[in-house]
Amino acid sequence: MNTPEFHPVCPLPITDYPHVLMAHGGGGKLMHHLLEQVFGRAFANPLLDTRHDSAQFAVPAGRLAMTTDSYVVRPLFFPGGDIGSMAVHGTVNDLAMSGARPLYLSTAFILEEGLPMATLWRIVCSLSAAAKACGVPIITGDTKVVDKGKGDGVFINTTGIGVIETPLVITPKNVQPGDVVLVNGDVGRHGMAIMATREGLQFESTIESDSAPVHELVQELLQAGIEIHCLRDLTRGGLASALNEIAEVSGYQTAIEQDAVPVQEEVHAACELLGLDPLHVACEGRFIAYVPPRDAARALAIMRGHPLGAQAAEIGRVGAAGSPPVTLKSALGSWRILDMFTGEQLPRIC
Amino acid sequence: MKYLDEYRDGPLAQQLAREIHRLTTRPWTIMEVCGGQTHAIVKFGIDELLPPAITLLHGPGCPVCVTSLELIDQALEIAARPEVIFTSFGDMLRVPGSTTDLLSVKARGGDVRMVYSPLDAVKLAQQNPQREVVFFGVGFETTAPATAMAVYSAAQHGLRNFFLLTSHVLVPPAITALMTSADSRVQAFLAAGHVCAVMGYEEYYPLVRQHQVPMVVTGFEPLDILQGILMVIQQLETGRAEVENQYTRAVRREGNLPAQSLLRRVFRVVSRKWRGMGEIPQSGLGLTEEFASFDAARKFGLADHQVEEPATCIAGLVLQGRKKPHECPAFGKECTPEHPLGATMVSSEGACAAYFRYRRSPLETTMPA
């Protein structure tokens, strides 16, 4: 997603210091230099360039949505993305799940002493390119440095503000019996891309993360007049957690057909190997949409017509009030509970 | 996925189920030995496809579940030592000892790490010569060769900072213990395919002769299990008691001979206490004299303390197939995967965890119109 004006070559004359020092967070000249040469340069836009303690901007009419997320992924770079692009996609997607059009982002970096400047620059460039591709400027930020051994290279927090232009109120409370559940593509790729990189697993083709911003696809659905009741992006805990969270809030049971959930062959294989269930594995560019039956076919067609929805599928239906929250029809035709997993399945993936 | 989807084929499963229905004329009680089979049965709802006359009992084949509380307490004691890097498989980390678990020891500063292979622990020992690396070896004959290979490899590399805390156990002595208990209801066994992939199935012939129970070496996919059950029912209904092999794509009668020879070199057979079943003679693997210097119990001079199981937990009865998980008064109430009272609720192969995860109460669901 790199735009032409960015080259991941570190521009720093301050690379007199090839690694991040404690002084880069100390408030003095080195920090000033870092902000100006790295962040200021990569993120430049009129609001950021005022270089004030907070950014000032006019608020459009309508409802606003705000969200925040911290990114602590290891490894920092993985097939299909890195911590920088993910820090944009994750927050943009969280806004999109309210039907919001993202307006602005903030970024806060926590750097570990000793992080190579070239690594930082690569991440900052990727983050900047992702934000530009999403059309969302980064208008304020922060940087801190922690002692070596107290961080894991770099942690990033991003906060996003968006405007909700649809009159729909998209929340789990609006889910209704009979709603059709759609997913915009195959699940589990991000988590397995991270896992495969971390564990050195080799497959016939590399598993690439699905990290991507889905706000434009959501806007297309809204503009087509689809009456979306609820949206949820599938991050930690994967599809299973998203379905359970929504079912618990709405009070209605959801029934899912295992065979209807798209899973890439390699992801399936990797999951089998590691004893994981793809329905529990994180995604970063996938969401589920709850729509009334009359809109389902049209919503699915819109999704499939978008590059981030080519493999979209109808995976289940909302039923009556009750428990267990989510049930799954297995390949053999029998039903079972689809629960969230207990404890940690994949440490530090998003 | 090739070599997997074929074994989860819905219509073929229905066909096998129909054949089982056709042959079954009276009640039969079959035990699947392996926890992996238990999970597949509950996850895919295989028991729901069977005639009501067939009862599947879940056996003691979850190695994490049968590891004694005393041994887990010893592991916790070692893991808390500052000089130690303590390693084990992920499942083991959450199993409660009498007071805490390994993940809590980690949160308090213990260096506890999950590994995928015992050889990763050997690598850690090479990379950290100033630390003592301990691997908590858990499992049946299936995982024992990998542990043996780790110890052997540590010896080859001349490592003096790698140690094994062994909890490896053997299947045939457990089957003997089950069959000789007075109230055993088991009329046939699905033997664990992966154990047999290593050990072969020669050692089951005397068991079958002595106890007159059919024993079918069975795989782990839904069609494997259904076919295994069908072969068992064919034997039961015709009054036969034989050793048969359903899992021919992975298991040979003699097993994996190089793995067995490594096992014999590194391990000797010892008596072991099983959680929920008590002491079973000749049922565990300890290090041979040649490799005794890698024994963590010897290195850290552990005392063998006696601890009490929680009174309400019936994990022992579940492991022996005498109770089903949901017959426990604590199931799903005081005892959940988040707050397990017994190991059968913790391990991904434990019967209680399988029931809690996949069915909790009888499910009657259909896709809403």
Using the predicted structure, report yes or no on whether residue B339 has a pLDDT greater than 90. Answer: no
**pLDDT at A11 (0 to 100):** 57
Neighbouring C-alpha atoms within 13 Å toward the C-beta of A11: 16
Distances (CA, A) of A29 to A16, A23, A34, A140: 13, 9, 9, 20
Pick among A198, A334, A338, A345 to test the B interface (most B CBs inside 10 A): A334
Q: Do B357 and A330 touch (CB under 8 A)?
A: no
Give B179→chain A minimum CA distance, Å.
31
**pLDDT tens digits, one per residue of A87-118:** 999 999 999 999 999 999 999 999 999 999 99
Q: Is the pTM of this model over 0.95?
A: no
**pLDDT tens digits, one per residue of A121-146:** 999 999 999 999 999 999 999 999 99
Cα–Cα distance measured from residue B69 to residue B328, given in angstroms and rounded to the nearest whole number: 20
Q: Is A36 on the interface with B (CB under 8 A)?
A: no
**pLDDT at A1 (0 to 100):** 42
Q: Is B44 on the interface with A (CB under 8 A)?
A: yes
Q: What is the DSSP string of B91-131?
A: HHHT---SS--HHHHHHTT-EEEE-SSHHHHHHHHHH-TTS
Residues sharing a CB contact under 8 Å with residue A15, sequence separation 6 or more, in sequence order = A117
**pLDDT at B4 (0 to 100):** 76
Q: What is the CATH number of the domain that holds A57?
A: 3.30.1330.10
Using the predicted structure, report yes or no on whether residue A289 has a pLDDT greater than 70. Answer: yes
Q: Which residues of chain B are within 8 Å of residue A319 when distances are taken between CB atoms?
A: 365, 368
**pLDDT at A2 (0 to 100):** 41
Q: Are A320 and A201 in a shared domain?
A: yes
H-state helical runs in B157-307? 171-180, 193-199, 204-211, 222-237, 257-266, 296-299
Cα–Cα distance measured from residue B161 to residue B133, given in angstroms and rounded to the nearest whole number: 6
Q: Which domain covers residue A69, as residue numbers?
A: 16-164
Among A137, A164, A191, identify where a domain stops. Answer: A164
Using the predicted structure, report yes or no on whether residue A213 has a pLDDT greater than 90. Answer: yes
A7 located within any domain: no
Q: What's the number of domains chain A is made of?
A: 2
Both tokens of residue A200?
Answer: 């050195």
Q: Which of A20-34, A94-108, A211-225, B210-224 has the lowest mean pLDDT?
A: A20-34
Cα–Cα distance measured from residue B157 to residue B146, given in angstroms and rounded to the nearest whole number: 16
On the 0-12 / 13-18 / 19+ scale of CB atoms within 10 A, B72 is: buried
Q: What is the DSSP string of B179-214?
A: HHSTT----EEEEEHHHHHHH-STTHHHHHHHH---
Q: What is the mean pLDDT of chain B?
A: 90
On the 0-12 / 13-18 / 19+ scale of CB atoms within 10 A, A220 is: middle
Q: Is A198 on the interface with B (CB under 8 A)?
A: no
On the 0-12 / 13-18 / 19+ scale of CB atoms within 10 A, A315 is: buried
**pLDDT tens digits, one per residue of B17-72:** 999 999 999 999 999 989 889 989 988 989 989 999 999 998 888 888 888 888 99
Q: Which residues pair with A290 in a beta bridge?
A: A181, A230
Pick among A175, A315, A332, A346 to test the B interface (most B CBs inside 10 A): A332
Q: Would you say the C-alpha torsion B118, B122, B123, B124 has a positive or negative sign?
A: positive
**pLDDT tens digits, one per residue of A334-346:** 889 998 886 655 5
**pLDDT at B188 (0 to 100):** 97
Both tokens of residue B139?
Answer: 């499992």
> Strand order in B111-114's β-sheet?
B111-114, B84-88, B132-139, B162-168
Q: Are A208 and A142 in a shared domain?
A: no
Q: Are A121 and A75 in a shared domain?
A: yes
A344 located within any domain: no
Domains of chain B: 5-60+178-245 (3.40.50.11750), 65-170+255-299 (3.40.50.11740)
Q: Which of A51-60, B21-30, B218-227 has the lowest mean pLDDT?
A: A51-60
Give A31→chain B minimum CA distance, Å.
33
- Under the banding of pLDDT at 50, 70 and 90, the label for residue B183 is confident
Q: What is the mean pLDDT of chain A?
A: 91
Q: Do A336 and B42 touch (CB under 8 A)?
A: yes
Among A132, A164, A196, identify where a domain stops. Answer: A164
Both tokens of residue A19?
Answer: 């690694």
**pLDDT tens digits, one per residue of B282-336:** 999 999 999 999 999 999 987 666 677 777 888 888 888 888 888 898 998 888 8
Q: Do A331 and B94 touch (CB under 8 A)?
A: no
Using the predicted structure, report yes or no on whether residue A165 has a pLDDT greater than 70. Answer: yes
Neighbouring C-alpha atoms within 13 Å toward the C-beta of A15: 15
